[in-house]
Amino acid sequence: MKILVINGPNLNMLGSREPEIYGSSTLLDIENELSEFASKLDNKIELEFFQSNTEGEIVDKIQKAMGQIDGIIINPAAYTHTSVAISDAIACVNIKTVEVHLSNIYSREGFRHNSFIAPKCVGQVAGFGKDSYKMALLGLYNSLK
The C-alpha atoms of residue 100 and residue 74 are separated, in whole angstroms, by 6
Question: Considering CB under 6 A, how many residues would be counted as binding ligand DQA?
Answer: 10
Q: Which of 79, 101, 113, 133 is catalytic?
A: 101
3-state helix, strand, coil in the chain (%, to 5): 50, 20, 35
Q: How far are the Cα atoms of 24, 26, 67, 95 from residue 125, in angstroms, in the given order?
A: 19, 19, 25, 17
**Per CB under 6 A, does 75 bind ligand DQA?**
yes
- Rounded to the nearest whole angstrom, what is the least distance from the CB of residue 134 to ligand DQA in the complex? 14
Q: CB 60 → ligand DQA: shortest distance, Å?
A: 20
End-to-end CA distance of the chain: 8
Q: How far is the CB of 143 from ligand DQA (least distance, A)?
A: 21
- Residue 85 has a CB neighbour count (10 Å cut-off) of 14
Contact 97, 90 (CB under 8 A): yes
Per CB under 6 A, does 10 bind ligand DQA? yes
Task: Give the nearer residue to ligand DQA in terms of CB position, either 1 or 10.
Answer: 10
Stretch that binds ligand DQA, among 27-35, 58-66, 96-104, 117-125 (CB under 6 A): 96-104
The smaller minimum CB distance to ligand DQA, of residues 53 and 70, is found at 53
Interface residues with ligand DQA (CB under 6 A)? 10, 75, 77-78, 80, 101-103, 105, 112
